[in-house]
Amino acid sequence: MSAPPSKLWSKEDKNTLRTLWAEGLSCLQISKRIPGKTPDAIAGKRKRLGLPPRGSPIKYRAEPTPEAKLKLKPGGVKKISGWQPRKPVEPPSRGCLWISGNPSADFTYCGNPRGTRSDGSLSPYCPEHHKRAHVPRGTVPWGQKDFT
């Protein structure tokens, strides 16, 4: 087991750090040679002493070329058979914004008149859906996920 961490740095410790850093040792390797110093302490002191940082040991892949990113057919975008883009559904300008139905399929908005919040501002939902959207803590049984 190593010695307990010491907060004080002697001149000898600092000189050892400078020497070992110049030799290319890692913070972990240096911490094993200076008793009572952790790798994080070595890294912090290295920075405070103004010793040069090292490059990251993490190897990154080269950035792919634009051609490799988008492998398109010469005719343009690849078509998926049977897929049709969905027409966007316009939300009601003044009605409730609660979604009825499956959002990934066909759906509609509730559209009933909007209610007001406790501070008097206009809620995006009708009073019924506002109650569902803002359930007070502790009133829903633990694990219940169906709020419909």
pLDDT digits (tens, 9 = 90+) for 1-11: 555 666 789 99
Residue 116 lies in a domain: yes
- Provide the CB-side half-sphere exposure for 122 (13 A, CA): 8
Residue 35 lies in a domain: yes
List residues bridging with 99 in a β-sheet: 109
pLDDT, tens only, 61-107: 777 666 666 555 455 555 556 666 556 666 777 888 888 777 777 77
All residues at 6 or more sequence positions from 101 whose CB lies less than 8 Å from its CB, including other chains? 107, 108
Residue 22 lies in a domain: yes
Residue 32 lies in a domain: yes
d(CA 140, CA 148): 13
Best CA proximity match to 7, nearest among 34, 41, 33 = 41
Residue 28 lies in a domain: yes
Burial pattern 28-47, b for ≥16 Cβ within 10 A else e, equals: eebbeebeebeeebbbebbe
Number of structural domains found in the chain: 2
Residue 104 lies in a domain: yes
- What is the model's pTM? 0.38
d(CA 71, CA 98): 40
Q: Phi, psi (5° rounding) for residue 38?
A: -90, 165
pLDDT, tens only, 17-60: 999 999 999 999 999 999 999 999 999 999 999 999 887 767 77
Residue 57 lies in a domain: no
Give the structural domain span for 34: 11-48
Where on the phi/psi map is residue 49: left (φ > 0), alpha (ψ -120 to 50), or beta?
Answer: alpha
